[in-house]
A and B are shown apart, each in its own frame.
Chain A
Amino acid sequence: MNSIYVNKQVLWFGLIAAVIAILVYGVVRVSSRPSQPIGAETIVVAVEPNTDGFARAIGPWQWEFPRDHGPHPAFQTEWWYFTGNLTTADGRRFGYQFTIFRRALTPEQRDSRSEWYTNQMYLAHFTVSDMAGGTFYQEERFSRGAVDLAGAEVSPRFRVWIDDWAVFAADDTISQMLIRAKAAGFAIDLTLTPVKAPAFHGDNGLSQKGPEAGNASYYYSLSRLETKGTVEIGGGEFAVSGLSWMDREFGTSALSAGAVGWDWFAIHLDDGHDIMVGQIRHQDGSLEPLFGGLLVSPDGTTRYLTAEDFTITPFGSWRSKNSGATYPAGWEIELALDGDSLRLVLEPLLADQEVLANVIYWEGAVRISGDAAGYGYAELTGYAQPLRGLI
């Protein structure tokens, strides 16, 4: 192209204009950044966790069933905790955990025109351990306790639920409980029949978690529930039977300052004994002396176990790739009662039974050997993050 008619001045004029325009454009581009998906970090004004106004576990509790299977909304925290070991007819083993937690945001339910209002929040953890497949399935759900989305009730009949996950009574006397839960890729449909009366922990159900008054919970278990039903994983359905354990606790702020977590074991021995032992670990490495355990005989009579009655010695370790936390890989539990002693060895049926929920913990099926045989469940908290203030 011949540029005979473009003199230098015209070119400069154009050039300077172009530079100015590009500069202005640059400023514009900087001030309005190109499109990104809508997103924002919510930074919030912190308020201290407040337990004022909530009922505390202090005196003895007048137990009454089926009422006490239902919710106790005056307490801040409550749970319905089911764990169990199940087998198919040909011996394929599964473990499951089905838990619904209730959490009150405020001590009182205020009046509201809105059916969406509630001070009760619900949270559920549902896991299935497939020992043969080596797979741990898990899902977590939350919901407000309003608009029938989630809730707990005994009237007209016992039912605790989030969406379509529910545990409910088969009849008015709760001779059987049914658990139905369907998650992404796994489901259970189980019928649980209690074979023993409710067993109360601590002092007739007042279970001290620390030296302070009120730093306790009301705690009972249906320690042995014969369980039948189906487990569904990855499209396959398995008819199963086995034993479940139900733990029920309600209280307000149940961990002392300095406590970092707990180890909890629910043991079904083949001879018909059920044992719960647990320990609360402190930051300094010591154990909470006030927390103990419970021995339930085949006939349902119970015996409270103090911290001096048993020792729990962990062995081995397993490191989670997901959370980076290191958990023990087995335990030796020694019970010394009235001069007799019982030595049990607990080993996970599957190494990875870590629940990756908002609270990360390990909850899994274990095999029991040693002086007696059986199956059970272990719960290990506070290994991935300190638990205080979280539940």
Chain B
Amino acid sequence: MTGAVVSRLVYRALQRRVLQSVLFVISILAGVALIVGVDVAAESARRAFSLSLASLQGDATHEIVGGPSGVPSSLYRSLRADLGIRTGAPVIQDTVRVGAAEIPLTLLGIDPFAEAQVRQYLAGASTATVPGVEGQALLRLMAEPDTVLVAQSVAARLGVEPGDQLALRTARGRRNVTLVGIIHPANELSAQALASLVVADISTAQEIVGSPGVLTRIDLVLTDAQVLADIQGSLPPGVVVRPVESNRSSLEQLSDSFTLNLQALSLLALIVGLFLVYNIMSFSVVQRRTQIGMLRAIGATRRQVFAGILLEALVLGVAGTLLGLAVGYVLGGFLVGAVTRTISDLYYRVEVQALTLTSLTIAKGVFTGLGASLAAALIPALNATRITPASTLRSADAEQASRSRADVAAVTGIVVLGAGLVLTQFQAQSLLLGFGALFLVLMGSVLMTPLALLLVMHLVQPFLGRAIGTLGRIAPRAIARSLSRTGVAVAALSLSVSVIVGVSVMIASFRGTVTTWLDGALTADVFISAPASGLLETVNLDPELAVQLQNLPGVSQVLTARDVPVLAPDYPGLPPVNLVAVSDDLAERSRRYLWLAVPQEEVWEAMQAGAIIVTESFAYRRGISPEVNTLNVLTDNGVRSFPIVGVYYHYGTDQGIVLMADPVYREHFADPWVSSFALFLTPETQSAHVVESARRLVADQGLNVQSTGELRTQVFTIFDRAFNITAALRSLAAVVAFIGVLSALMALQLDQKRTLGTMRALGLTSGQLWRLTLLETGLMGLAAGLFALPIGLLLAKMLIDVINVRAFGWTFSFLVSPGSLLQAVLIALTAALLAGAYPAWRVAHLTPAEAIRNE
């Protein structure tokens, strides 16, 4: 009989501890998993891009590159014959779309004789039929027209075998090539590197994508500084030699702002988790007051108690962190698709073959997981050391203390918030500091919520009492009384809802700004361009096409734009400059300028005389102002300086654009191609008809012909896709918050079991208890929702004015819709009510005897 009671007691105790342990582990797990998941996705994308660059560069240390006109073929000969450089390789390279699915891959044109010095994966040992030519496939590659090699993975993806034909689509049309061999990568990494390559002889590549006499670049393996100096001395104007490392890192940073934003958002989830862990540990200490008091009475020191609590947190933290790493890795697999899609849309084409889990990612997860566990347990552990054997008898101690601590927290909060706001004034370009400030502001605001909760509960108590009666008075009091736990739960919920508010307002403001901008920017009726992903792909279209388009019925004017990367020697650490040369100004009237050095109606005139205008992001990243107003660009004739007469708003790319008049561009670059066309129609013409006839005209090249409406839709599709991940993370943060609130409320209700049991015994019906519990949680949810509004708006303001400016160089208007605010309050309320439902159900089903029984 006694044995059964004891075992039942033990079971109960364990059950409660297990539930807490599970909640602790889940809180840490969720936070760590989000951080690791986002990091894995971002790192995998970055690594895949880095590998694809590395596979293209091989062992090259330097490269000779030029502007849009490329590098003259004859330079390669003179390097070999005149300078005696043996370790160089000529390259002709471009993006092609392969097979029926038009998968974008890189066509890499190489000279097999030169490759062994630079890219070793092509120089596998096999029987040579021609001395020096490694294998028959390389022989055929050089000897036969239109032959290519691909890696096994690419062949499998395209469903082809050696001997099969492959359709390659370029902006110049379709071309069928024969697969003459398979490159078998020696290891997984090379496999990843080769996964987006189609390798051809340099002559084949030149026939398909190149121009006569022009190389894309010359790769060099240089170890001797003197040789480098010799090369520099011998280069024609318009061509430079540079270390590949600097180029690679400048390209890799293209997507940095985007991924850093995601990573910061994932950190928010951990902060929510931190509150929960704090809540759980506090609760666990309160629960064991008697036990701790007894231990102190039999001789345990404060130090031992402190260490014991921290050790418990550490063990649970380790479990949560390790599981978080595992779950995060899996989550990364889900996120990577969305992340790479957007990176490909906005920055560069990237294919992720394998997820990357770097030790840095693991370190981040471990550091944040264990750090959060210990930090959150620190205050409860300190509290535990204050427990004396005598004080255990007075149960209200802790709550009394928490009330006064709410004041301290609020004061601390004001200081932290102030510090955060001050921090935004420092290092005006640093994105990391921007996020630091953002977190301080958030933390500061959240620290104020317990006191705010207390005040609100005091305020509503009389009104609720009058409206609902006794229950209306009990509920706010109960919340105020258990402030150490309700305060934290409400803070956590406010925090996550404010993230929802902040991110939603930011996205809506951005979308609104882009809508207004597009209305002004898209003045033409029909747009024709090639499908290109990211910023790094240059499309070469025949300018003759403009004449044919002009002849289509209904077309009144055809404008061309040339979109090319050019080198700006003054900014070696930044990616190449996106130069757009337009044949006429599309949007002179409607364009909005940050500043202008000439009257708006004279901008085009100034541009025709050689001036340029640049976008806001471009100017922000390079510190361009009315005082710093020239840009040096490497042209075919060497470095030339262009005056900047204006900076305009543009949201097409965060890397920024330099706009130049076409005649000025052609004067400086021997580049025959154009990149896109814009058609203006005669007044009575239906754009659908012109779209139809233009599509027929360019069917072979696979060009996109879009009406203004279709282009708008496409822009917003990409826009929404870019924010899909942000939105998903926002929801995940909400889920984490929900779990946390659930755990806090459950703990709260379980803690109140005796009180509630007593109420039952005193005559409260189970229906009344239901209502009481839901009223309590509803009140908390509502309070959290209301607190979240100002915090969320502050967050949005900071995201727009600090983070976006620093990350992307964009400014946009602050647009708030009342509907989204109401929605946020409803989310908080619903989350709280849902979280309260289970404890309410438990409480309602308690028999008084069970509830009052002493443990």
Binding site for B on A (CB under 8 A): 1-7, 9-11, 13-14, 17-18, 20-22, 24-25, 28-29, 31-33, 35-47, 49, 101, 103, 105-106, 110, 112-119, 121, 123, 140, 142-144, 146-149, 163-164, 182, 357-359, 389-391
Contacts and interface: CB of A to CB of B under 8 A. Distances in A.
Contacts of B5: none
B58 interface: yes
Interface stretch (B309-317, B540-548, B645-653, B735-743): B309-317
A40 B80 contact: no
A32 B25 contact: no
Given A2-B304, A4-B308, A44-B181, A38 B189 contact: yes
A6 B163 contact: no
Contact of A4 (B295, B316, B323): B295
B790 interface: no
A45 B80 contact: no
B231 interface: no
B82 A1 contact: no
Contacts of B304: 2, 4
Interface centre among B17, B25, B80, B125 (most CB of A within 10 A): B80
A10 B126 contact: no
B502 interface: no
B398 interface: no
B203 A38 contact: no
Given A18-B319, A36-B189, A182-B84, A117 B126 contact: no
A121 B136 contact: no
A36 B193 CA distance: 12
A280 to B, nearest CB: 20
9 contacts: A17-B322, A21-B326, A33-B189, A41-B125, A45-B181, A103-B131, A114-B202, A116-B73, A116-B90
Interface centre among A37, A44, A358 (most CB of B within 10 A): A44
Nearest to A358: B131
Contacts of A36: 186-187, 189
B124 A38 contact: no
Contacts of A46: 127, 136
Contacts of B136: 44-47
B139 A112 contact: no
Contact of A114 (B51, B212, B316): B212
Given A6-B308, A359-B131, A43 B182 contact: yes
Interface in B173-191: 180-190
B329 A24 contact: yes
A17 B25 contact: yes
Interface in B307-345: 307-309, 311-312, 315-316, 318-320, 322-323, 325-326, 329
Given A4-B295, A147-B73, A10 B316 contact: yes
A74 to B, nearest CB: 15
A116 B76 CA distance: 11
Interface in B280-312: 288, 295, 300, 304-305, 307-309, 311-312
Given A13-B25, A182-B84, 5 more contacts: A13-B316, A39-B187, A42-B149, A45-B136, A46-B136
Contacts of B73: 115-116, 147
B128 A106 contact: no
Contacts of B755: none
A163 B51 CA distance: 33
Nearest to A43: B184
A17 B322 CA distance: 7
Given A17-B319, A38-B120, A28 B357 contact: yes
Contacts of B183: 40, 42-43
A116 B111 contact: yes
Contacts of A47: 136, 139-140
A35 B189 contact: yes
A206 to B, nearest CB: 25
Interface in B19-76: 21, 25, 51, 54-55, 58-59, 73-74, 76
Contacts of B774: none
B356 interface: yes
B472 to A, nearest CB: 40
B180 A45 contact: yes
Contact of B77 (A6, A11, A106, A149): A149
Given A32-B188, A114-B203, A149-B80, A142 B113 contact: yes
B52 to A, nearest CB: 11
Contacts of B125: 41
A4 B300 contact: yes
Contacts of B121: 38-40, 42
B708 to A, nearest CB: 37
Interface centre among A13, A119, A391 (most CB of B within 10 A): A13
A18 B142 CA distance: 55
A113 B210 CA distance: 9
Contacts of A2: 300, 304, 307-308, 311
B135 interface: yes
B274 to A, nearest CB: 19
Contacts of A32: 188, 354-357
Given A9-B18, A31-B354, A164-B81, A44 B308 contact: no
A389 B356 contact: no
Contacts of A43: 124, 126, 135, 181-184
A33 B17 contact: no
Given A105-B130, A114-B203, A164 B84 contact: yes
Given A21-B323, A116-B206, A164-B84, A1 B130 contact: no
Contacts of A40: 120-122, 124, 151, 183-186, 190, 194
B672 interface: no
Nearest to B76: A147
B695 to A, nearest CB: 28
Contacts of A182: 84
A147 B206 contact: no
Contact of A163 (B80, B139, B145, B162): B80
A39 to B, nearest CB: 5
B237 interface: no
A14 B319 contact: yes
B142 A105 contact: yes
B392 to A, nearest CB: 16
A202 B730 CA distance: 88
Given A38-B54, A39-B187, A44-B126, A143 B113 contact: yes
Nearest to B356: A32
A225 to B, nearest CB: 25
A118 B202 CA distance: 11
B131 A113 contact: no
B143 interface: yes
Nearest to A121: B130
Nearest to B317: A14
B734 to A, nearest CB: 25
A142 B212 contact: no
A63 to B, nearest CB: 28
Nearest to A47: B136
Contact of B309 (A5, A10, A164): A5
Nearest to B139: A105
A44 to B, nearest CB: 3
Contact of B207 (A4, A13, A112, A119): A112
Contact of A42 (B59, B76, B138, B315): B138
Contact of A22 (B193, B206, B300, B322): B322
Interface string B121-163: 1111111111111111111101111000101000000000011
B709 interface: no
A35 B119 CA distance: 17
Interface centre among B18, B136, B320 (most CB of A within 10 A): B136
A35 B183 CA distance: 19
Contacts of B84: 163-164, 182
B553 interface: no
B699 to A, nearest CB: 23
B462 interface: no
Nearest to B295: A4
B181 A114 contact: no
